[in-house]
Amino acid sequence: MEMEYKDPSRRGRWIIVLGLVLAVAAAGGAFYIINSAQQSAGQGSLKYMTAVVAAKPLSAKTQLTADDLIVRTNIPVDDTNNLGNFLATSPDQLVGRILGVDVAAGQLVTLNLLASTSVGGQFPILGPGETVGPNSDAWRAVSITVSDDHAVGGMLAAGMTVDVLMSVVIPAPPTAKDNVGPGGSLAPTPTPNPSAPIYTSGLSTKVTYQKMTILARQGTYYILKATLPVAEEITQAAIDGATFTLLLRPDQDTRILNVSSLGATTSRILQRYGLLIPQVYPVDGGFPSNPPIPAITPPPSASASPAPSGAAPSGSPAAVPTAAPSSGG
C-alpha cells in the first residue's frame, strides 16, 4: 500500500501565520483592557460642575443679557475653576450686571469679574484692579444734572472721561472799608476806599474738576466718580444754583492741568476781545462812525498765459505807466 506524502514545511507556515494572528489579537485585547481600565480609573474620581460661560467675546462695561451667556453642565472641576461662591450657575445671577473686564468666548463668567459688587448694581464705582485699603481714596458716586447743550450735545455716555466747568453767580464783595470810631466801635457809614477794586455781582465760570469718569447716565442725570470732598463741593454748589458743563476729554490725555490762571467772567471777555458795550439809543451826538475797512491785498494772478498788451492781469491792480526815458540831446 502506497503512503501519501505531505510536505511538513507547508503545515509549519500555517502554524506560524496562526500564531502571529493570535499574538496580534492578544496584544490588541490587552491594550484595550489596559486603556479602558485607565480611563475608568480616571473618571472614577473626576467631578463635573454646572457654570455660566460667555457665548461670545464680551467687552468690559458691557451690560450682560441672556444672549451673552450659556450654561454648561459638563465642566471638569480642577484647581483653576474651583471658585466656590464666585461661580454663577444661572444666567439670572448675571443678566443686567456690568462686566469689569474683557471676557473671551467660552470663558467662565464669575461674579468676581463684575464691575458692581452687589446684586442689582448697574454701574461700577471702582475700576478693574482698584481695591479699598487704609490709604486709598474714598471713592463715591455723585449725580449732577447737565442739560444736553452743556454736555457735548448729549453725546456723552458711561465710561467717558470729562472735565467739569462750574458757572455760579458771585455776589459782589464789599469795596469800602469800615469806619472805625472812637473806642473801636464801627461807624454806621463806611468810608469809601478809592484804592480798593470795584467789583460787581455777576456770573463766573471756571474749570473746577478734571478727569472725572462718567459711571452712568440717565437722561440729563450724570453719575460721576468722585472723592468724598469733591462730592460735598458738587452737592453744595448745586444747592447754591450752580450750572455745570461737561467737557469731553480724550482718553489719551491723562494730565491734571494747572488751571489757576483760568476763569471767565463777562468783564474779562469784554476786555480780552474788545467787545462793545451796548448803549442807550438814541445817544446825544450820535454814534461814532466805524473806521474804514482796510483794503484787501489781491492775490497774485494764477494765469500762466501773458496778459494782452496794454491790459492788466485779472485780479491785479492796473499797471502804473512809467515815463519813457528821455533821449540824449
Q: Tens digits of per-residue pLDDT, 266-323?
A: 989 998 999 988 888 776 766 677 778 888 888 777 655 554 444 444 444 444 344 4
| Average of per-residue pLDDT across 141-147 | 95
Number of CB atoms found within 10 A of residue 54's CB: 22
- Whole-prediction pTM value? 0.52
Q: How confident is the model at residue 119 (pLDDT cuts 50, 70, 90)?
A: very low
Report whether pLDDT(152) > 90.
yes
Looking at residue 25, its pLDDT comes to 79
48-113 has CATH 3.90.1210.10 classification: yes
Instruction: Give percent of the chain above pLDDT 90.
Output: 32
CA angle 85, 89, 94 (to 5 degrees): 90
Report whether pLDDT(94) > 90.
no
Dist CA 124 CA 115 (whole Å): 5
Hey, which residues does 245 pair with through a beta bridge?
Answer: 165
Calculate the dihedral angle through the C-alpha atoms of 302, 308, 310, 314, rounding to the nearest 10 degrees: -30
Report whether pLDDT(121) > 60.
no
C-alpha cell at 302: 494764477
Dist CA 88 CA 103 (whole Å): 14
| CB hemisphere CA count around 183 (13 angstroms) | 2
C-alpha cell at 26: 492578544
Could you tell me the residue ranges of all domains in the chain? 48-113, 139-172+199-273
Dist CA 223 CA 215 (whole Å): 5
Dist CA 300 CA 316 (whole Å): 7
| Average of per-residue pLDDT across 230-243 | 96
Q: How confident is the model at residue 226 (pLDDT cuts 50, 70, 90)?
A: very high
CA angle 198, 203, 209 (to 5 degrees): 115
Number of CB atoms found within 10 A of residue 235's CB: 14
Is residue 227 within a helix (H) or strand (E), and if so which, with residue range? strand 221-227
Q: What is the 3-state secondary structure (H, E, C) of 157-177?
A: CCCCEEEEEEEEEECCCCCEE
Hey, which residues does 76 pair with through a beta bridge?
Answer: 48
Terminal-to-terminal C-alpha distance of the chain: 169
C-alpha cell at 255: 494730565
Looking at residue 264, its pLDDT comes to 94
Contact in structure between 27 and 82 (CB atoms under 8 Å): no
